[in-house]
Amino acid sequence: MKTIGEPIFSTEKFDVSTVWLRKRRRRNRSSNFKILLKYTRLYCEYSSLVGCRYLVESGRNWLERIVWIVIHATSLVFLIFIVLEVYKQYKTTPVLTVLETDHYPATLLHFPAVAICTINRISQQSAHEIANEVFNTNVSKLSLDEITGLFHEFGAMYDTDFNTNAERIKILQEMFTKAYGQFDVAQMMKRLTPKCSDILIKCKFSGRTRDCSKLFSFRKTQDGFCCTFNYAREQDDLPVQVSSIVLL
């Protein structure tokens, strides 16, 4: 039994630090909420959205504020619904670009020519193969690596800003002339360019999977040798026009 005047002690532990942390968290939450409320009010005051400033404008009664809140909430719900519907249509329906006009239907347009060209214009594997062929003919005293290094000069065939070395090009020309009997630049670039089978993995046309080698042809274009489809020109090389001058 407890006698009168006997001090009463609690057996529960009292952690002062826990109470202090709780009070600090409440103050932080209250401070963050006030900051959020402050910047939300500033946004509504200076926003160009219709009716947004009416939510915080002085002199407005609460009924009018509630009406504007309901209007904004309803608009947001409809906006989210429209965006979801558009996104669903985008995922299920492919995007089509049609050039059809009221004056000329797209059904009468000719299918355009398509050319797929690689960024890597010279295949390292093909360069090593040709370098081995030239090296095995013993037409040059250069090593295999030195012959392969000369192939960098072929970059001048594509890039006009390429720093070419006239002496190295002359060595290339003499070496290939001795090895193959002639130096055909077009045929050499055709051999060095990556083939269609190396760059095309899967082809679909008119909704069906097709053999890429039957759809695309490896032909010369203005960007070098590329994989072409529906290429109308009969010859890859344009005929050379020789003009004669008649002196009177």
DSSP readout, 161-190?
A: T----HHHHHHHHHHHHHHHSS--HHHHHH
> What is the Cα–Cα distance from 195 to 126, expressed in whole angstroms?
10
Tell which wins on pLDDT, 30 or 77. Answer: 77
Rounded Cα gap, residues 160 and 116, in angstroms: 21
Residues 6+ apart with CB under 8 A from 192: 121, 122, 123, 126, 127, 130, 151, 154
- Please give the C-alpha separations between residue 84 and each of 73, 77, 88, in angstroms, as whole numbers: 17, 11, 6
- pLDDT band at residue 149, thresholds of 50, 70 and 90? confident
Residues 44, 36: Cα–Cα separation, whole Å: 12
Predicted local distance difference test score (pLDDT) of residue 9: 46
CA 85 vs CA 75, 81, 90, 95: distances in Å: 15, 6, 9, 15
First to last CA, the chain: 145
Q: Which residue has the higher pLDDT, 167 or 159?
A: 167
The tokens for 209 are 């999977």
Q: Tell me how far CA of residue 108 lies from CA of 82, 100, 101, 103, in angstroms.
A: 36, 9, 11, 11
- pLDDT level of residue 83 (50, 70, 90 thresholds): very high
Over residues 19-25, the mean pLDDT reads 63
Asked if the model's pLDDT at residue 146 lies above 60, the reply is yes
Its pTM stands at 0.48
Answer yes or no: is pLDDT of 4 > 60. Answer: no
- Give one word for 239, left, alpha or beta, with left for phi > 0 and alpha for psi -120 to 50: beta
Tokens (6 digits) for 79: 């906006």
pLDDT band for 77, please (50, 70, 90 cuts): very high
- The closest of 140, 164, 139 to 151, measured between CA atoms, is 164
Over the chain, what is the mean pLDDT?
Answer: 77
Tens digits of residue pLDDT in 167-212: 888 888 888 888 888 878 888 888 889 989 888 988 988 888 989 8
Q: Are strands 208-210 and 217-221 parallel, antiparallel or unpaired?
A: unpaired
What is the SS3 assignment for 193? coil
Residue 82: the pLDDT is: 94
Classify strands 224-229 and 217-221 as parallel, antiparallel or unpaired: antiparallel
Structure tokens at 6: 């006997």
Is residue 139 a contact partner of residue 175, using CB atoms and an 8 Å limit? yes
| 158 within 8 A of 121, measured Cβ to Cβ | yes
